[in-house]
């Protein structure tokens, strides 16, 4: 029994290190984003990537629209209307440009620090 426990301990340690959160590097999932900020404005893509809005530095960059990434569907975004078109930024692919009703918003990929 002790032998099994000794073998499982390193495996458990490695697996628990695979999911980043606040204060850790890597992509954050929606649960982690909302845990850190329950009022976060976000977009979650079908592949699970989460982008958040509100960082000033995103607007300081000169960016142009690249390829269309998605169209917002019900439940996909906290504050964007259904039908909003999401584009990848040509200069920084980790930034999405959202366009709707003549408005433009920028979202950056949610990552732990």
Longest Cα separation, the chain: 65
Q: Whole-prediction pTM value? A: 0.76
Q: Cα–Cα distance between 38 and 88 in angstroms, integer?
A: 25
How far apart are the two ends of the chain, measured CA to CA in Å? 39
The pLDDT, as a whole number, for residue 19 is 46
The pLDDT, as a whole number, for residue 25 is 63
pLDDT at 22 over 80: no
Task: For the chain, give the mean pLDDT.
Answer: 84
Residues 6+ apart with CB under 8 A from 89: 61, 63, 64, 65, 66, 95, 96, 97, 106
The pLDDT, as a whole number, for residue 8 is 43
């Amino acid at each position: 029994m002790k032998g099994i426990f000794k073998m499982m301990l390193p495996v458990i340690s490695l697996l628990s290190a695979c999911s980043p959160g606040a204060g850790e590097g890597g992509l954050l999932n929606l649960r982690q984003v909302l845990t850190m900020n329950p009022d976060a404005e976000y977009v979650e893509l079908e592949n699970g990537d989460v982008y958040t809005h509100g960082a000033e530095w995103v607007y300081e960059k000169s960016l142009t629209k690249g390829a269309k990434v998605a169209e917002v569907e019900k439940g996909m975004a906290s504050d964007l209307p259904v039908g909003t078109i999401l584009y990848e930024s040509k200069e920084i692919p980790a930034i999405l440009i959202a366009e709707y009703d003549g408005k433009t918003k920028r979202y950056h990929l949610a990552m732990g620090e």
